[in-house]
């Protein structure tokens, strides 16, 4: 290949690589892959699906086991600066609920994270969570409603429940009854994908 043609090819290649957009997964142990092999968690499966579908996105999974909405809120500005994501998937609140924290505080933290992400130029997908019935009907209702209220107030798309379709099936969870097994991760991904795909851009944005 002539030198000029080779240089042109490399420039096109590097330019394409530079255009890859980042998807930042900002969650807790349900997204961090607690109890799973590194390649089994749904964010890793998301990267595989994006590549299979031809979308030019790189997934950065910055989820932390045990994270609360307050902790995520405090850490997010630095992550936005470091990764400059095109899309932020916020999956937080489960640990707030398990600790019985007021849903109003969850709403405030989620809205603050959405505002920070938007100010950084990112689109946002909000992922909801639900509490088991043993927390009492009033709390479980207000907790689940917090995500819908935030979605309505901010206009960001909402996936109502990360564990949709199998939350009532104990065989899909690890021994702790909280964290899904590897075989449930594809179902989780399908749930997230329904909310994420409209944010990825037109088919012309594919490889």
Give me the chain's average pLDDT, please. 91
Instruction: For the chain, give the percent of residues with pLDDT over 90.
Output: 85
Active-site annotation holds for 63? no
Active-site annotation holds for 29? yes
Residue 61's pLDDT is: 98
Catalytic residue among 5, 168, 176, 202: 176
Residue 95: inside a domain: yes
User: The domain spanning residue 56 has which CATH number?
Assistant: 3.40.50.1110
Residue 12: inside a domain: no
Q: Which domain holds residue 63?
A: 19-200
Q: What is the pLDDT of residues 27-38, one digit of tens each?
A: 999 999 999 998
Residue 127: inside a domain: yes
What pLDDT band is residue 3 in, cutting at 50, 70 and 90?
low
What pLDDT band is residue 134 in, cutting at 50, 70 and 90?
confident
Angle at 95 between CA 92 and CA 97, to 5 degrees: 100
Residue 205: inside a domain: no
What pLDDT band is residue 17 in, cutting at 50, 70 and 90?
very low
| Range of weakest confidence among 4-8, 164-168, 171-175 | 4-8
Catalytic residue among 29, 31, 69, 122: 29
What pLDDT band is residue 20 in, cutting at 50, 70 and 90?
confident
Active-site annotation holds for 116? no
Catalytic residue among 65, 83, 116, 179: 179
Residue 206: inside a domain: no
Residue range 178-192: mean pLDDT, rounded? 98
Q: What is the pLDDT of residues 83-117, one digit of tens each?
A: 999 999 999 999 999 999 999 999 999 999 999 99
Left (φ > 0), alpha (ψ -120 to 50) or beta: where does 82 sit? alpha
Residue 4: inside a domain: no
| 159 strand-pairing partners | 127
Q: What is the pLDDT of residues 49-68, one digit of tens each?
A: 999 999 999 999 999 999 99
What pLDDT band is residue 16 in, cutting at 50, 70 and 90?
very low
Residue 202's pLDDT is: 56
Residue 3: inside a domain: no
Total of domains in the chain:
1
Residue 2: inside a domain: no
Can you tell me whether residue 101 is helix, strand or coil?
coil
Three-state SS string over 102-158 comes to: CHHHHHHHHHHHHHHHHHCCCEEEEECCCCCHHHCHHHHHHHHHHHHHHHHHHCCCE
């Amino acid at each position: 290949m002539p030198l000029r043609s080779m240089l042109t090819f490399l420039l096109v290649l590097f330019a394409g690589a530079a255009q890859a957009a980042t998807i930042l997964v900002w969650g807790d142990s349900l997204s961090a892959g607690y109890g799973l092999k590194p390649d089994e968690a749904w964010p890793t499966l998301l990267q595989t699906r994006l590549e299979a579908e031809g979308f030019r996105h790189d997934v950065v999974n910055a989820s932390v086991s045990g994270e609360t909405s307050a902790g995520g809120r405090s850490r997010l500005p630095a992550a936005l600066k470091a990764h400059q994501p095109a899309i932020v998937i916020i999956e937080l609140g489960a640990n707030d609920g398990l600790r019985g924290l007021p849903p109003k505080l969850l709403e405030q933290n989620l809205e603050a994270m959405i505002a920070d992400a938007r100010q950084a130029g990112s689109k946002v997908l909000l992922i909801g969570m639900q509490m088991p019935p043993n927390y009492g009907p009033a709390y479980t209702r207000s907790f689940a409603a917090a995500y819908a209220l935030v979605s309505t107030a901010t206009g960001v798309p909402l996936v109502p429940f990360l564990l949709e379709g199998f939350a009532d099936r104990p065989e899909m969870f690890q021994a702790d009854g909280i964290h899904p097994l590897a075989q449930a991760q594809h179902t989780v991904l399908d749930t997230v994908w329904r909310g994420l795909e409209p944010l990825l851009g037109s088919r012309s944005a594919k490889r």
